[in-house]
Amino acid sequence: MDARREDPLERLLSLRLHQQDGRRSPHKPLLALLAVSRLLQTGASALPWSEAEDRLASLLEDFGPPSKTGRAQSAAYPFTRLRSDGVWELDAEVPMDNVGPLRAHQPTGRFTSSVEAALLSDPERALDTARILASSHFPESLVPDVLLATGFDTELVLRGEGPVAGPRRRSAAWSTWIIEAWDRQCAFCGFDGQLGSGAVGLEAAHVRWFSYGGPDDADNGLALCSLHHKLFDRGVLGLDANLRVLVSGRYTARTEAGKAVYALNGRAVSRRPGTPAPALEHVSWHSAQVFKGEPLPL
């Protein structure tokens, strides 16, 4: 047997996910991150269903794809199905995906003893495991948010070095090209700040996330200011088929600065002549897998 498959942490980094037609399924990775954090903080990964039901549901609402599934049902999927990966166990026998038995028996889930031992014996590798889990399933703009929400010291985790495991490698030149192609200004609001001769506060955003098959192609990128990049990846902002900016109806704000986001609704993206428009297939993926709820009326 391949020695890598015998390594419990390799099993943890090779979770079987329900991915079909580019659909996002971060349920298991979010549960695994929550359990790694708990283990490093308390010495045990034990997570009672009474806590997981709400905690996991909240994480999936914030960082998962749009879903019509109930909160408890969303949490039940990873809590029961992570067992099939050989890294998770429950202290009561309950069927897959069924909320009723979980509430009736109130089981506690935890990593298997081999996974716990491997993580506790090498805290640095445990932090690397968390970094790779987050980076493999979320875009760079969201990784700090995901780590913080699952209980990690973000700075401590992200100081780790080395590439994320996987066969695909990001293009080192893509980000620079995208920012230049969009005239070094935010496609949504026009922000074009510079410090010296370089753009500042501008980032290249994948429309379809790289971690979900999005290519480093010209028609899969937007130059966005740091704020609107974050809001685009969180599903607050999106695009329609005519490349008009959409604002989620679930977004709310009280201050004038926060309300300024409403003004983006219906605005056409601003691109330089000759710059390829985001491909409809990538826009459609973002609409289905990232954008939250229904947009505000145009």
Average confidence (pLDDT) over 138-157? 91
Of 132, 158, 184, the one marking the end of a domain is: 158
The confidence score (pLDDT) of residue 19 equals 58
Give me the domain span that covers residue 179.
174-289
Please indicate, yes or no, whether residues 96 and 34 belong to a single structural domain of this protein: yes
**pLDDT of 166 higher than 70:** no
Number of domains forming the structure of the chain: 2
- Which residue did the predictor score with more confidence, 264 or 19? 264
Please indicate, yes or no, whether residues 152 and 284 belong to a single structural domain of this protein: no
Question: Do the beta carbons of residue 206 and residue 221 sit within 8 Å?
Answer: yes
For residue 168, being part of any structural domain is answered with no
Taking the CA atoms of 33, 21, 209 and 174 in sequence, report the sign of the dihedral they define.
positive
Tens of pLDDT, residues 102-115:
999 999 999 999 99
The confidence score (pLDDT) of residue 163 equals 46
Phi/psi region, residue 239 (left: phi>0; alpha: psi -120 to 50; beta: rest), is beta
Of 124, 158, 192, the one marking the end of a domain is: 158
Please indicate, yes or no, whether residues 132 and 191 belong to a single structural domain of this protein: no
Please indicate, yes or no, whether residues 139 and 185 belong to a single structural domain of this protein: no
The confidence score (pLDDT) of residue 169 equals 67
For residue 164, being part of any structural domain is answered with no
**pLDDT of 73 higher than 80:** yes
In total, the chain counts a number of residues equal to 298
Question: Do the beta carbons of residue 145 and residue 26 sit within 8 Å?
Answer: no
For residue 294, being part of any structural domain is answered with no
**pLDDT of 4 higher than 60:** no
Indicate the average pLDDT of the chain.
91
Please indicate, yes or no, whether residues 148 and 180 belong to a single structural domain of this protein: no
Percentage of the residues of the chain whose pLDDT score is greater than 70: 93
Tens of pLDDT, residues 172-215:
789 999 999 999 999 999 999 999 888 899 999 999 999 888 99
The confidence score (pLDDT) of residue 25 equals 87
**pLDDT of 165 higher than 60:** no
Please indicate, yes or no, whether residues 189 and 86 belong to a single structural domain of this protein: no
Residues 189, 130: Cα–Cα separation, whole Å: 34
The confidence score (pLDDT) of residue 14 equals 87
For residue 88, being part of any structural domain is answered with yes
How far is C-alpha 174 from the chain's CA centre? Answer: 21
Average confidence (pLDDT) over 17-43? 87
Please indicate, yes or no, whether residues 184 and 153 belong to a single structural domain of this protein: no
Residues 69, 94: Cα–Cα separation, whole Å: 20
**pLDDT of 229 higher than 70:** yes
Average confidence (pLDDT) over 246-267? 97
Please indicate, yes or no, whether residues 186 and 134 belong to a single structural domain of this protein: no
Question: Do the beta carbons of residue 137 and residue 145 sit within 8 Å?
Answer: no
Please indicate, yes or no, whether residues 8 and 116 belong to a single structural domain of this protein: yes
- Angle made by CA atoms 40, 128, 210, in degrees to the nearest 5: 125
H or E element, residue 202: strand 202-206
**pLDDT of 5 higher than 60:** no
The confidence score (pLDDT) of residue 173 equals 86
Residue with tokens 């490698």: 169
The confidence score (pLDDT) of residue 2 equals 45
For residue 23, being part of any structural domain is answered with yes
For residue 195, being part of any structural domain is answered with yes
The confidence score (pLDDT) of residue 167 equals 53
Least confident span in 3-7, 14-18, 65-69, 289-293: 3-7
Please indicate, yes or no, whether residues 201 and 256 belong to a single structural domain of this protein: yes
pTM to 2 decimal places: 0.83
Please indicate, yes or no, whether residues 214 and 118 belong to a single structural domain of this protein: no
Of 158, 182, 210, the one marking the end of a domain is: 158
DSSP 222-271: EEEEHHHHHHHHHTSEEE-TT-BEEEBTT----SHHHHGGGGGTTPBP--
The confidence score (pLDDT) of residue 69 equals 83
**pLDDT of 1 higher than 90:** no
For residue 296, being part of any structural domain is answered with no
Torsion of CA 219, 225, 231, 236, to 10 degrees: -70
User: What are residue 182's DSSP bridge partners?
Assistant: none
Residues 241, 294: Cα–Cα separation, whole Å: 15
Please indicate, yes or no, whether residues 136 and 13 belong to a single structural domain of this protein: yes
For residue 169, being part of any structural domain is answered with no
In the chain, which ranges are continuous DSSP H helix?
3-6, 8-12, 27-42, 49-63, 71-81, 99-105, 113-121, 123-137, 143-149, 154-158, 174-181, 226-234, 256-259, 280-289
The confidence score (pLDDT) of residue 21 equals 66
Q: Residue 110 corresponds to which amino acid? A: R
